[in-house]
Amino acid sequence: MTRRRRQAIVPSGPYVRVVLPVGEYTAPDCTVDQFAAGVLAVTSLADDSVLRVFPAGDWLHGTAYDATGHPGVSFEASRP
């Protein structure tokens, strides 16, 4: 039996990808910032509203990609 891999759907334009302990979170037209105590926030480029907040320990890696799909700002979760 051949196992098929699910292919990730990559948004066009700038987007954010956050790798979680199980799975991932992807949002179009956003950027990502890391704050004190390891909090990661995904922010809309359209209106600067915070779309999602990941507390420390709930995320592993966050990267913002530009419109061409090239990585820009990137954050790694600190490990104890």
User: In the beta sheet, which residues pair with residue 18?
Assistant: 25, 62
Task: Report the mean per-residue pLDDT for the chain.
Answer: 85
Whether 75 is in a domain gets the answer no
In the chain, how many domains are there? 1
Whether 14 is in a domain gets the answer no
Whether 37 is in a domain gets the answer yes
Give the count of beta carbons closer than 10 Å to the beta carbon of residue 15.
22
The radius of gyration computed from the CA coordinates of the chain, to the nearest angstrom, equals: 13
| Domain around 37 | 32-62
The pLDDT value given to residue 12? 57
pLDDT (tens digit per residue) in 24-52: 999 999 999 999 889 999 999 999 999 99
Band (6; pLDDT cuts 50, 70, 90): very low
